[in-house]
Amino acid sequence: YPHIAEYDLKRRLYNWVLSSSDKYFIRNSGLVTRLYADGKDAGTAQSSYGDVGTDEEWFYDSTSDTIWFVNTSASPNTQIMEAGDDWATIKTRFRRKASRLIESHLDNRLSREVLKDREGNYPEIIVHITALQTVILLLKAHDPNNEVITPFQEELNELIDGLKAGTIVLPTSISGDSSKGVIREVSVDSASDLRPIELKGHYAGSGYELLKVYIDSGEGGIIGTTKMTVLGKSSTLLKTDTLVDSEIITGDFMGLGVGSLMIRWSGDDVTSAITTAADEYEIELWGSSLDATVSSVGSIGMTRR
């Protein structure tokens, strides 16, 4: 939401009273942890009232609920004086609360499936719904009746319902289709327009597999000329053992060396589309014998005895 920074929860401080020598105060100001003058952070508060003496120094006295501020050039009544927290701190606090709420929405079954991937990132759908929940919380904190909240809430509800029903599947989950594989780009030259576009069949191995599919040095080119090499796991490492060695890409389905799983390459113009040496893709696979981890809400059959 591009305008979310407008809802930074700062509150205005009015009716400053001159105490003496450019020192101003407001009684019954409420807690002030950060002070802003015309949008500028006034910095860290002083340790006591007696330490406030230099321009833009300030101190909040919690005992008397009084804020003190020094301005040597003008009265703070001519400025926009605000109390609030740093925007980064606010976002972190609300994101943390949003994360806990999302966990509650998804219940303990789905929450167990929300895992970081091997690159240390949460699934994009989880990031997205957490961001939606964060925006909703910020908007409600500013104005619970804000009409902008409605479309965000509707989108959030739709996505959560999809996750609960199993129509939206987390990429870290294992389903009946996980043995069919997922193709991802690792490193592809900008000139390359011949790419793997389709998989069919199943991974026949057990456990987890991560295939490396790449174009070796001197083997780039068009269909019928370019060649692909495929590396699979060994007993100790991923992407290390050669499964397919420099096989010509034909445009038809080609074996990947792991059971019936096959790959097909294509481009916008199959007669001129090319690969480039060092183009690399990966295919992530789970054995078909692994238990599925995709949760969904099911029905229970009940009979009266």
Q: What is the pLDDT of residues 170-224, one digit of tens each?
A: 766 666 667 788 899 999 999 999 999 999 998 887 788 999 999 998 899 999 9
Greater pLDDT, 15 or 121: 15
Average pLDDT over all residues of the chain: 87
Backbone phi and psi for residue 303, each to the nearest 5 degrees, phi listed first: -130, 150
* Percent over 90 (pLDDT), the chain: 60
Distance CA 239, CA 6 (A): 48
**pLDDT value of residue 169:** 76
How many degrees, rounded to 5, is the angle at CA 122 between CA 85 and CA 169?
Answer: 130
Mean pLDDT of 105-117: 66
Cβ proximity of 220 and 275 under 8 Å: yes
Q: Indicate the SS3 state at residue 168.
A: coil
Q: Residue 40: enclosing H or E segment and its boundaries?
A: strand 40-41
**pLDDT value of residue 44:** 92
Mean pLDDT of 130-149: 92
Mean pLDDT of 226-234: 95
Sheet holding 262-266, edge to edge: 195-200, 262-266, 254-255
42-94 pLDDT per residue, tens: 999 999 998 998 999 999 999 999 999 999 988 999 999 999 888 888 899 99
Boundaries of every domain in the chain? 7-83, 87-165, 178-286
**pLDDT value of residue 81:** 94
Answer whether residue 125 shows pLDDT above 50: yes
Nearest to 153 by CA among 112, 87, 92, 105: 105
pLDDT band at 291 (very low <50, low <70, confident <90, very high): low
Structure-token pair, residue 42 = 């006034």
pLDDT band at 301 (very low <50, low <70, confident <90, very high): very low
Among the ranges given (38-42, 153-157, 263-267), the one the predictor scored with the smallest mean pLDDT: 38-42
Residue partners of 227: CB distance under 8 A and separation at least 6: 215, 216, 219, 246, 247, 248, 249
pLDDT band at 156 (very low <50, low <70, confident <90, very high): very high
Answer whether residue 293 shows pLDDT above 60: no
Greater pLDDT, 112 or 126: 126
**pLDDT value of residue 298:** 46
Answer whether residue 18 shows pLDDT above 50: yes
Residue partners of 229: CB distance under 8 A and separation at least 6: 213, 214, 215, 216, 219, 242, 244, 245, 246, 247
